[in-house]
C-alpha cells in the first residue's frame, strides 16, 4: 500500500498531539487527533489514539487502535513493538506470542525503531533476540548511545559483563554525560565489589543532574554502605526527600543500621520495607519469616546476613531490567517518524 504524505496541517496537529501525550494530557491529545481530516487513513493516527487509550488504561480500545495501525502499515516493526506492550499489559499472552513471532528485522533500517523492537523483546525476557536487534541498530548508527546503552544492558542480562562494560565506556566517549551508561557502570561495579569505582560513577551522575535527582542518590548510598563509608551514607540518606514510600530507601536504612549494630532500628527499617513492598525486588523480604523479636543479636545478624546476600543479588539482577524499562516509560513518544520528515 502506497503511503500518503501528511499535509502540513495534519503534521502540526500530530505534533501537538504528541506533546500532549508526553504530558499525559489525553483529552487534549484526542481533540487534536480527531480534528485531523481523514486522520483515520494514517497509521500514526491510530498509534497515537492507542497511546491515549493505553495511558487511560483502556486496553481494549488501545488494542483496537494498534491493530488498525498495523493493518494500515503492516511492515512497520515499531507498531508490533507497541502492540506487544499493550497486549502484554492487558494479559493476552496468546496475542503477545503471535506478535513476537511476526517480528522481521529485515523490514526496518531505523536505529530508533530497532531500539523500540528490542525493548519489546526485552519485556518478554528475550534478551538474546533483543541483542540481535540492537546490534543491527548499532551497525546503522554507531554513535547512537541510547541503542548502545541498551545493548550493554542486554549483554549484562545474558552474562557478558565484560562486553557490557565496553559498550557503556564506548557510549561515554561519545557523550561523557550519558547518565544511563554511568549508572550501568556503577551497578556493574557494585556487582563486582569494585565499590570505589561504583562511587565515582554514581557521583558523576549526580553532578550531571545537579544533585537534584533524589532517586539517583540511592545508588550512591548503596555503594557507600557496601564500601563501609557509613558517615557518607548516613548523611546522604538523611538528605533524601520525597521518597518516604520507596521500599529501597528503607532497605538501605535497614542495612545502614545493621552495619552500625543498631539492630532495633534495622529491624524497624526492614519491616517498613516489607510493608511497602510493591516492587518485585522486595519479594525476597516479604517471604522471610520475621519473628516478633529476637532471642539474641547473633540470631538477628544471621537473618540479616542471609537477607543481604539474597536481596543484594536480586537488586543487582533486576537493576539492569529496571534501567532498560526506565527508557521506555514514554510509550509512543517516538511515534513521530512521519512528522519529522
Structural domain contains residue 80: yes
Structural domain contains residue 191: yes
Mean pLDDT of all residues belonging to the chain: 83
Residue after which a domain boundary falls, among 139, 170, 201: 170
Among 74-88, 224-238, 240-254, 278-292, the range scoring the smallest mean pLDDT is: 278-292
Structural domain contains residue 1: no
Phi-psi region for residue 333, left (φ > 0), alpha (ψ -120 to 50) or beta?
A: alpha
Domain count within the chain: 4
Regarding whether 212 and 166 lie in a shared domain, the answer is: no
Regarding whether 150 and 110 lie in a shared domain, the answer is: yes
Rounded Cα distance, 312 and 56, in Å: 35
What's the pTM? 0.79
Rounded Cα distance, 159 and 70, in Å: 35
Structural domain contains residue 268: yes
Structural domain contains residue 126: yes
Label residue 162 by pLDDT band (50, 70, 90): very high
Domain range for 280 is 244-326
Rounded Cα distance, 284 and 260, in Å: 23
Angle made by CA atoms 72, 77, 81, in degrees to the nearest 5: 105
Regarding whether 217 and 181 lie in a shared domain, the answer is: yes
- At 29, which CATH number? 1.25.40.10
Percent of the chain scored above 70 by pLDDT? 79
pLDDT at 20 over 50: yes
Percent of the chain scored above 90 by pLDDT? 55
Give the other-Cβ count within 10 Å of 3's Cβ. 11
Residue after which a domain boundary falls, among 170, 204, 220: 170
Regarding whether 257 and 211 lie in a shared domain, the answer is: no
Regarding whether 118 and 56 lie in a shared domain, the answer is: no
Structural domain contains residue 340: no
Amino acid at each position: 500500500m502506497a503511503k500518503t504524505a501528511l499535509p502540513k496541517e495534519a503534521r502540526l496537529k500530530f505534533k501537538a498531539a504528541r506533546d500532549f501525550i508526553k504530558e499525559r494530557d489525553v483529552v487534549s491529545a484526542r481533540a487534536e487527533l480527531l480534528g485531523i481530516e481523514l486522520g483515520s487513513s494514517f497509521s500514526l493516527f491510530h498509534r497515537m489514539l492507542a497511546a491515549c487509550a493505553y495511558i487511560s488504561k483502556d486496553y481494549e480500545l488501545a488494542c483496537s487502535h494498534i491493530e488498525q495501525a498495523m493493518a494500515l502499515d503492516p511492515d512497520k516493526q515499531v507498531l508490533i513493538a507497541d502492540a506487544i506492550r499493550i497486549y502484554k499489559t492487558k494479559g493476552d499472552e496468546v496475542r503477545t506470542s503471535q506478535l513476537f513471532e511476526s517480528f522481521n528485522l529485515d523490514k526496518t533500517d531505523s536505529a530508533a525503531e530497532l531500539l523500540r523492537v528490542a525493548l519489546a523483546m526485552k519485556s518478554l525476557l528475550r534478551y538474546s533476540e533483543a541483542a540481535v536487534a540492537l546490534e543491527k541498530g548499532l551497525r546503522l548508527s554507531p554513535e547512537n548511545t541510547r541503542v548502545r546503552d541498551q545493548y550493554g544492558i542486554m549483554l549484562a542480562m545474558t552474562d557478558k559483563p565484560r562486553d557490557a562494560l565496553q559498550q557503556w565506556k564506548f557510549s561515554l566517549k561519545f557523550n561523557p554525560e550519558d547518565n544511563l551508561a554511568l549508572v550501568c557502570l556503577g551497578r556493574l561495579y557494585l556487582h563486582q565489589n569494585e565499590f570505589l569505582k561504583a562511587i565515582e560513577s554514581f557521583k558523576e551522575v549526580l553532578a550531571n543532574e545537579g544533585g537534584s535527582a533524589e532517586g539517583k542518590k540511592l545508588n550512591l548510598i548503596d555503594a557507600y554502605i557496601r564500601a563501609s563509608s557509613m558517615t557518607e551514607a548516613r548523611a546522604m540518606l538523611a538528605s533524601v526527600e520525597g521518597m518516604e514510600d520507596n521500599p529501597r530507601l528503607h532497605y538501605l536504612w535497614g542495612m545502614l543500621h545493621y552495619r552500625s549494630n543498631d539492630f532495633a532500628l534495622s529491624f524497624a527499617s526492614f519491616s517498613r520495607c516489607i510493608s511497602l513492598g510493591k516492587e518485585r525486588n522486595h519479594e525476597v523480604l516479604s517471604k522471610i519469616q520475621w519473628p516478633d523479636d529476637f532471642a539474641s543479636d547473633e540470631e538477628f545478624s544471621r537473618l540479616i546476613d542471609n537477607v543481604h546476600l539474597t536481596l543484594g543479588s536480586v537488586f543487582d539482577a533486576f537493576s539492569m531490567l529496571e534501567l532498560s524499562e526506565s527508557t521506555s516509560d514514554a510509550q509512543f513518544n517516538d511515534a513521530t517518524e512521519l512528522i519529522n520528515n
